[in-house]
């Protein structure tokens, strides 16, 4: 075997033998997502609730599934930055609702000028929603 192959084998053995933090690997079980000792579940209104299994308490409620997963992941690491995540979640909720409003108005309007104005506003709101979601992804994949 070449030295490069031996090095790769050694790195693989170290990776396999290393202890793994369970909060690094979220998994879905039934209708919930489990991350460490936290569970993310959706409710009938379309919001996502984050529960702490150790204390058997509700931690918070979020509009977006990505926000709820980011909160659970952050809390399972022992950090407390949920206020930042909830602020981003409120931005997503606002811009998502704006998108829904603009999309409806684009369907019902007959004026071409008004359609163009609404289309521009829709694209701005959609871009802001995606930008906020990218900020949440930094909490999940960091």
Per-residue pLDDT of 106-133, as tens digits, reads: 999 999 999 999 999 999 999 999 999 9
If you average pLDDT over residues 39-56, what whole number do you get?
91
User: pTM for this structure?
Assistant: 0.78
pLDDT given for residue 106 in this prediction = 95
If you average pLDDT over residues 11-38, what whole number do you get?
79
- Report pLDDT digits (tens) over 70-85: 999 888 888 876 788 9
Q: If you average pLDDT over every residue of the chain, what do you get?
A: 88
- Range in 16-30, 39-53, 73-87, 109-123 the model is least confident about: 16-30
Report phi then psi at 131, rounded to 5: -65, -40
pLDDT given for residue 1 in this prediction = 66
pLDDT given for residue 36 in this prediction = 85
Cα–Cα distance measured from residue 72 to residue 52, given in angstroms and rounded to the nearest whole number = 9
């Amino acid at each position: 075997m070449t030295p490069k192959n031996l090095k790769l084998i050694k790195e693989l053995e170290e990776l396999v033998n290393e202890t793994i933090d369970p909060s690094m690997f979220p998994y879905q079980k039934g209708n919930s997502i489990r991350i460490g000792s936290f569970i993310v579940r959706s409710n009938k209104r379309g919001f996502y609730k984050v529960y702490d299994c150790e204390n058997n308490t509700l931690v918070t409620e979020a509009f977006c599934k990505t926000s709820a997963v980011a909160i659970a992941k952050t809390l399972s690491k022992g950090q407390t930055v949920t206020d930042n995540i909830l602020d981003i979640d409120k931005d997503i909720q606002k811009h998502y609702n704006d998108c829904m409003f603009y999309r409806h108005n684009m369907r019902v309007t007959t004026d071409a000028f008004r359609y163009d104005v609404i289309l521009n506003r829709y694209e701005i709101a959609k871009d802001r929603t995606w930008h906020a979601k990218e900020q949440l992804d930094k909490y999940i994949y960091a």
